[in-house]
Amino acid sequence: MATTQTPIVVPFFDQATWTVTYVVHQGQGKACAIVDPVLDYDPKSGRTATRSADQVIEYVTSMDLKLAWILETHAHADHLTAAQYLRSQLGGKVGIGEHICTVQAVFKDIFNLEPQFQTDGSQFDHLFVDAERFAIGALEGEVMYLPGHTPACVGYKIGDAVFVGDTIAMPDVGTARCDFPGGNASVLYQSIRKLLSLPPETRLFMCHDYPPEGREPNFETTVAAERAGNIHVHDGIDEADYVQMRQTRDRKLEMPVLILPSVQVNIRAGHLPPAEANGVSYLKVPLNLL
Ligand SMILES: [Fe+2]
């Protein structure tokens, strides 16, 4: 019987956006993947920075890891991705779920992007389909299509570890919101049941943590802990109750601070918008639309 691999998972928590970048590997000198890397962005000045990504690079270099994949779980709305910066420094391929094309089409309209902007996912190196298998050296990965928070969300199962993206959160936080364009609470519920049907000891790694007062940020839990104690979707909560709770809650949530800059960069796989005639790249703010 094949034994399940248990990769080393190293989290890098970004205090500014409450998000986590992960490095996944099997030890010194081996291949690695980086999941959901953060590019620092200051909304006051419009300046990007690579402090967070450079910490990840330092770790990868110090461990002599070879970067195989930069994996995006979805087009994030709370941080810009450092995928292209990491790729330029360390190599590797940038992958995301194939349904990113739907998200690109939606936001191409919302931002009235340049006609040349392609909505075929070609800005990424690879578009994953559901259940697709991929390799990180000798580590085996498998894609799980987990829509609901966005229509393109995927999780990455690597050995006994699953990078869940924005589907489920830590048990005392609950689940991801479903009110972004293309989001759907009922679809998210089904995705979460799929995730929670994995073996109980499966390690789950969150995309974020917004801890309740008094708890330090934590990003790792298990299927068993979520099934027993997730405040939104523990065993016994049915789809109708979940959807009602989620929709009521989403109506009270404000848009994330960085949604406008994040989405514009992330649907381009981390490339900035094309520079204008003066050589400067600009982001747009659609008024009274979101
Ligand atoms: Fe998200």
Task: Read off the pLDDT of residues 230-264 as tens digits, 9 standing for 90 and up.
Answer: 999 999 999 999 999 999 999 999 999 999 999 99
Q: End-to-end distance of the chain based on CA atoms, in angstroms?
A: 51
Query: What pLDDT score does 20 carry?
Result: 97
Q: What does the alpha-carbon distance between residue 77 and residue 217 come to, in Å, rounded to a whole number?
A: 20
**249 φ, ψ to 5°?**
-65, -45
Cα-to-centroid distance, 191 and ligand 1 (Å): 15
Q: How far is the CA of 261 from the centre of ligand 1 (A)?
A: 13
Centre of ligand 1 to C-alpha 149, Å, is 7
Tens digit of pLDDT for each residue in 108-166? Answer: 999 999 999 999 999 999 999 999 999 999 999 999 999 999 999 999 999 999 999 99
Residue-wise pLDDT for 185-227, tens only, equals: 999 999 999 999 999 999 999 999 999 999 999 999 999 999 9
CA 174 to centroid of ligand 1, rounded, Å: 14
Distance CA 261, CA 75 (A): 11
Question: Is this structure's pTM higher than 0.85?
Answer: yes
Q: How far is the CA of 198 from the centre of ligand 1 (A)?
A: 22
| Residue 237 CB partners (closer than 8 Å, separation 6+) | none
